[in-house]
Structure 1
């Protein structure tokens, strides 16, 4: 109606101020002039989500056949404009006949039964056209035709809606990228849960078992083990709350803001808590020319910490003997790398009955470590090496020229 009224003003001015509403040809001309106005406004990006919402409510078209969000390309805008023009154009016709036909049809149906209607202006006009007793048939036919027109218009719009409002190739690509990004973040959250909780359970189990065995003979060790258990569980509960909070909020994109331990922030604490469980652990740290783990990129420091944590968890669950850890920054072939090497003797004998069965994760931890390294363009190797079990991870850091002092 707003488009039609605006067009009527323009047409009326163009024909010298004639009353457009009193002339059917001028009304039809105003209708035709309103269609280009509708098409132009249909190019606005927000027209598509408005139209999609109307289609879903009114026509029952499946949601997956329609695009979500504003139009991203001119092709999508033109298609949305075509739908907008078709929808309002057909709607104007249906509205017009819906206003005119029902009163006329009711009058025609009731005319044989009312002398007042036959004597009225409408009755007098129709009397010369047809027998008043045939009027009810014409009235029923008009009402039936109106229902058919409305149903046909709805079916036509429902059929064309997926064609004109369906997702374009750009929309499908954007949706696929969004799903991939969401899946990647959720996989990262799953790795965080696995590594944090799995390591904590392994460490706490060993610390509690070691404390129980020396409860009477070495109270000082028991106090250290209990303190390590308290610190491990407190940190893990904090990480667990952060991850579950992100999942509850339904916004995994905020995962980058989640605090996570790093080499600079907690490597020494991780090693101390591992030793508190009675594990013999020797560690050699060489941050390279920078001399400080805080000089590493944040994502590298975070993923490297998780790889070290998983390596320690793997050694605690499956190893039987002292663990040796080497973590260093070096520059082979002029390219800086962060190398993590961890070795320990594999378990040779089955666990004692009092110790219970060893835990296993079915390899998910090492697979997660490999995924973390691949995220940074690095690699992880794990397996027997020289009679011991070795885990070696190499994470590229860039050219050595970027390191203060350069070189190895």
Structure 2
């Protein structure tokens, strides 16, 4: 009993009733226009003195106009906002944004016609029934009402009939509340179907998720390459400097000074890159175009930071390499040097860039140590990042042992930067 009373008179039922009354208010301009159009068919009856037949004719004329209005882009966002606030429908079940495509517009039109149509009927009943019911309830206690034409018109001139009007009035109000609760529940149940995402909406959402995932992967590559290389280079330089400080060989002080300078340069450059990437993550921005970062012009600094065992050479004018290709090529060389620092055990590593007419070829080699490379917890992602960078530019990459050396090659089309 208590559950039934809550379903009819509870807060959710009241909010849905308000939602239906708002639908009735939205119907009024269309209904007034309908009375003007239908007046000649009913002997020129006015809108307030019209018969019940004319009022329903105007109501039927108004609903197709409502359906046409629902085709405008803002109809669905407004309907969704009101349904979420008043119909107690979970937000994820409803679509966001304007309706795009025939399916979404048709659903929105169906929802608006149902909302406005039911709301118009219920609003009329809400305006008419409560005053009449209150009059019936006050009739046994008011001699003025007993002498009015109301009692004769409805056959309530007998005292027993007047007292019978009290429970009838209560029953009418309860029935009105029950009908409003049922209509509100019907709208709430149909909201996910009519205002939920269409196939086009789901496709657009999937595309947005794919774009967000691509951005996250891109930022992850930036962090992996810049920070991973910096840590490897700093570890290598610091270890070499520490070992030389323990020896008495001449020139050690100068080498330590160069190592510390390389550490300073590497960390300063990496901190700038890290600040930029973390700034994008903190603001939630999606980087458009290219993420700023070093290009092939910074190869000399990259080689100095990698230590004395690294040699980077190139043939051709690297200034004519497109910025996108230049930046990705720098990251590929950086990752190759990082891998060599981790796994080659201080063996010399060479990197050569050959610029052709249509592509840039990168070749990096270091001797195999003769023992398996150490495996980090979770596995490395550097070679996967190299492959992704080359593939995004329309190029190819390969890595593996060849003739006693570890070789990393990448071919980057120059047109991939356009």
TM-score (normalizing by structure 2): 0.84
Q: Please state whether the residue corresponding to 2:55 is helix, strand or coil.
A: helix
Q: CA offset at residue 16 of structure 1?
A: 6.5
Q: CA RMSD in A?
A: 2.6
Q: Please state whether the residue corresponding to 1:39 is helix, strand or coil.
A: helix
Given that residues 342 and 391 in structure 1 are in contact (C-alpha distance below 8 angstroms), is that contact kept between their aligned partners in structure 2?
A: yes
Aligned to 1:95: 123
Pairing partner for 1:11 from 38, 62, 87 = 38
Structure 2 CA distance for aligned equivalents of residues 167 and 350 of structure 1: 52
Given that residues 360 and 414 in structure 2 are in contact (C-alpha distance below 8 angstroms), is that contact kept between their aligned partners in structure 1?
A: yes
Pairing partner for 2:259 from 221, 225, 229 = 225
Q: CA offset at residue 273 of structure 1?
A: 2.0
1:274 and 2:306 are equivalent in the alignment: yes
Structure 2 CA distance for aligned equivalents of residues 295 and 123 of structure 1: 99
Change (3 A) 1:256 1:328: same
Pairing partner for 1:302 from 316, 324, 327 = 327
Structure 2 CA distance for aligned equivalents of residues 374 and 257 of structure 1: 16
Matches within 5 A, 1:88-167: 88-128=116-156, 131-167=161-197
Structure 1 CA distance for aligned equivalents of residues 172 and 394 of structure 2: 73
Aligned to 2:379: 362
Structure 1 CA distance for aligned equivalents of residues 237 and 381 of structure 2: 23
How many residues are matched? 381
Structure 1 CA distance for aligned equivalents of residues 56 and 375 of structure 2: 85
1:179 and 2:209 are equivalent in the alignment: yes
Given that residues 300 and 312 in structure 2 are in contact (C-alpha distance below 8 angstroms), is that contact kept between their aligned partners in structure 1?
A: no
Q: CA offset at residue 361 of structure 1?
A: 6.9
Structure 2 CA distance for aligned equivalents of residues 224 and 156 of structure 1: 77
Pairing partner for 1:29 from 57, 61, 76 = 57
Q: CA offset at residue 173 of structure 1?
A: 1.0
Aligned to 1:316: 341
In the alignment, structure 1 segments of 5+ residues that lack a partner are 352-356, 400-408
Given that residues 101 and 143 in structure 1 are in contact (C-alpha distance below 8 angstroms), is that contact kept between their aligned partners in structure 2?
A: yes
In the alignment, structure 2 segments of 5+ residues that lack a partner are 1-27
Greater Cα offset, 386-395 or 315-324: 386-395
TM-score (normalizing by structure 1): 0.86
Matches within 5 A, 1:181-196: 181-196=211-226
